Structure 1
């Protein structure tokens, strides 16, 4: 097989193996099937190994050289990918992007290496961020056009930013809304304060999903994406997020901040259709609340 990357255009509805047998000439059926088992075939930027994977007109099939197959594999799941977007399930403890102390071990760098290994000249661009200690859905654009389309209209495009949190104790009501004005100290501690020029309004909705072992599992949605918003508002309710010493937690049952961005739903600026991305509940949550994944 040639050592060069090859891109093939799909012009009619079919499945992957018949498409490859037709397009990859001069090679035996077993050789072509071997491309799939060796993870050398991508459809619209995602490695595909199923022989019967469906193909639609307009899609692109890329054949990778052997040395690129498996290159820069990510240590966390890719939730979604197409020509313009890639979304991952960022683990807790990993920065979304670099800062003055850490430049290399970031989700941005890892996803960038992953894309570059598969797409000649490939790049990624920051669209939004998750705090280092929060896990879950994180989206990057793969070109400047998509970056601008999302960033310039982010608040209007986003339909739901959903989180799951394990908090200490019992919330005062099974569901409710917290609204306050967030301020930040010189040491970067965020707190709720009076309305004023320096206060930024933050709105958080919550719903209790389960209780047990001195903790509550809470689904949280936010209308505003302020720094540390959920952590501050749970503290305001007297039920800080487990593992959050900075905002009053006395326990650390998971060895991490118990906050996970489990769903991001937004309007795709290209098609105007709704795109919903979900990240499974991490194991620590499932152990603390058996059956919570369902």
Structure 2
């Protein structure tokens, strides 16, 4: 009996792709792999499958194959493809982009806090996708029926920082595979509640939607719910009742850093989804409470910034590494905390 698995991924810090796995039936006759897959997958045209093969995204027993490869009984086939285009018209809007780097294959942008990545859930305009549709309106990859033009990963609306956007189908497939195989480098900086005891550490725990509230995510015991997730963290600065940490993603689950840090009792500062918009550490003095409220006003979002992004260039094979400065709201809040603690200790 032929086995089939479809593991769709749509992640905050991860990628936007579909991951399929097949085990070929023992009685399968010799057949081109693109025809074999098109007969078994919805919305998978021969051209999409050939593009995936050209990018090295069709693997047979762990090795990439061309679209004319002939399948054999009992082989394991893994394929990674971007989501098929849907019947959703994207309106191009002239929204400014902070472009860090650009060439014929890709673009790296520094996303400001508050910018939604793609339309949906009431945000049908004013998103990064609307901005990309305008900026790249003359490129073949971009059309009004593609709801995620060039996107291979995303970050939350209220998270700031670096994102890479593909400008060709080859680049999109290649980058998607890099995110899938976890060969990219992604480092974030986060301001969290409490003084993190260990200088470095790792949080491991399945992340999935809460069974009580579908709007948030939580950590589940291994084997129950959610997907395997690993976050490595390192203390950068301890600032009294808060700590600035660097988080390195080994996996990229939705809200992963936010959920993992809450799991170890260090919720992100002003993360309203996970209780970080409450005073979780400190004193009961009214002046302190007012100080924290002032910081919330300065930084009206979770204190999380995608600071470093690294990947292999899809055409040249060159290692690319980008860094970005903390945005003004987060940098100012950190400075306020440092001043507060210095004054308190005088």
Q: Give the equivalent residue in structure 2 for 1:255.
A: 300
1:195 paired with 2:213, answer no
- 1:238 aligns to what? 265
SS of residue paired to 1:126: coil
1:289 aligns with 2:323: no
Instruction: Provide the rounded CA distance (Å) in 2 between the counterparts of 1:93 and 1:84.
Output: 27
The answer to whether structure 1 residue 164 and structure 2 residue 189 are counterparts is yes
Task: Give the Å deviation of 1:105.
Answer: 1.1
Whether the 8 Å contact between 1:78 and 1:88 is mirrored in structure 2 is yes
Aligned partner of 1:137 among 162, 181, 196? 162
- Does the Cα contact within 8 Å between 2:95 and 2:126 map onto a contact in 1? no
What's 1:104 paired with? 125
CA contact (8 A) 1:164 1:259 kept: yes
Partner of 1:36: none
Map Cα deviations across residues 59-83 of structure 1 (whole Å, 9 max, x no partner).
xxxxxxxxxxxxx765341111101
> For the residues of structure 1 that align with 2:222 and 2:303, how far apart are their CA atoms?
29
The 8 Å contact of residues 150 and 157 in structure 1, kept in 2 or not, is answered as no
Cα distance in 1 for residues equivalent to 2:119 and 2:209: 21
Q: Kindly report which structure 2 residues correspond to 1:263-274, keeping only aligned pairs within 5 A, or say none.
A: 263-274=308-319
What is the deviation of 1:155?
Answer: 3.2
Does residue 216 in structure 1 map to residue 243 in structure 2?
Answer: yes
Corresponding residue number in structure 2 for 1:173: 198
* Deviation string, structure 1 residues 209-247 (Cα, Å, up to 9, x no partner): 112252211111010000111001111111100111221
How far apart, CA to CA, are the structure 1 residues paired with 2:182 and 2:205? 23
Residue 79 in 1 paired to residue 106 in 2?
A: no
Q: Does 1:275 align with 2:320?
A: yes
Partner Cα separation in structure 1 for residue 215 and residue 336 of structure 2: 37
- Contact 1:181 1:202 (C-alpha < 8 Å) held by counterparts: yes
- Partners of 1:173 and 1:248 lie apart in 2 by 23
TM-score w.r.t. structure 1 length?
0.68
The structural deviation recorded for 1:184 is: 1.2
Alpha-carbon contact 1:268-1:275 (below 8 Å) kept: yes
Q: 1:234 to 1:113 in 2, by over 3 A?
A: same
Report the 3-state secondary structure (helix = DSSP H, G, I; strand = E; otherwise coil) of the residue aligned with 1:152. helix
Work out the CA distance in 2 between the residues paired with 1:284 and 1:158: 31
RMSD: 2.3
Say if 1:188 and 1:288 are closer, same or farther in 2 by CA, change over 3 A: closer
SS where residue 206 of structure 1 aligns? strand
Q: 1:113 aligns to what?
A: 134
- Asked if 1:185 is matched to 2:230, the reply is no
- Contact 2:105–2:315 (Cα < 8 Å) also in 1: no
TM-score (norm 2): 0.59
Give the deviation of 1:121 after TM superposition.
5.6
CA–CA distance in structure 1, aligned partners of residues 235 and 133 of structure 2: 37
Distance 1:269 1:157 in 2: 15
Partner of 1:125, secondary structure, is coil
**Cα pair distance change 1:286/1:100, threshold 3 Å:** closer
In structure 2, the CA distance between the partners of 1:288 and 1:212, relative to structure 1 (3 Å rule), is farther
Deviation of the 1:120 alpha carbon: 6.2
